[in-house]
Amino acid sequence: MDYSTEKDELGHLIKKRNQQAFHELYKTSFNRLQKYAMRYLYDWDEAEDLVQDAFLSLWSHPERYNEKLPVFYYLLGIVRNNCMNYLRDLNIQYKHQDKIIEAMLFSSVEDPEIDEDIHARLKYILELLPEKQREVLLLHIVEKKKVREIAEEMNISEATVKTHFQRALAQLRSSLKFILFGL
């Protein structure tokens, strides 16, 4: 199928709110756009949702479509932007998860009665961490030591301290996210 000529005609018709043209574009382009979104997301359902959002955007605001560009490539741009926004939002969510986990770890050490079940799970997960990761995590969060201080105390480099801390947080995140976020 020639995406630059046939779909230009579809784009012109869609701009005039022709439902049949929109349906034809949807039928012929959806799978290809979903595969494109998968390159960014690696999640078939999210890719499907973002492509549907792109089609909805085109149908809701056909005046935004510039007919100088084939409608397929216009949709491709919307899908790409949707993917970038999704990934940006996901990155922000993960950053917040780390902060929540840190706060939870600190509060459970300070006050174990906050939630005994979560405290027990947290203690179990901490025991599963490799010794160096656990030690770095506790020194940094509970004792509030700086990376430099931990490196000197443990006789390891600052980069190693950061690596241990990040790995420990990643392990905590994956182990606790079902408790915190229902994931």
Q: Which one of 37, 55, 90 terminates a domain? A: 90
Specify the CATH number for the domain of residue 142: 1.10.10.10
56 belongs to a structural domain: yes
The answer to whether residues 78 and 120 belong to one domain is no
Distance CA 19, CA 25 (A): 10
Going by C-alpha positions, the residue among 143, 62, 152, 84 that lies closest to residue 109 is: 143
Domain residues for the domain of 159 are 111-180
Q: What is the pLDDT of residues 107-149, one digit of tens each?
A: 554 545 445 666 677 778 888 899 999 999 889 887 888 999 9
Same domain? 78 vs 135: no
Q: Is residue 19's pLDDT more than 90?
A: yes
Domain count of the fold of the chain? 2
What CATH number did the domain enclosing 10 receive?
1.10.1740.10
How confident is the model over 82-106, as pLDDT tens digits? 988 888 777 666 665 556 566 555 5
Flag whether 96 is in a domain: no
Residue 49 lies in a domain: yes
Residue 29 in this model has a pLDDT that exceeds 90? yes
Between CA 97 and CA 130 the distance in angstroms is 21
Residue 99: inside a domain: no
Tell me how crowded residue 103 is: count the other CB atoms within 10 A of its CB. Answer: 11
Q: How far apart (Å, rounded) are the C-alpha atoms in residues 88 and 3?
A: 30
In this prediction, residue 122 carries a pLDDT of 75
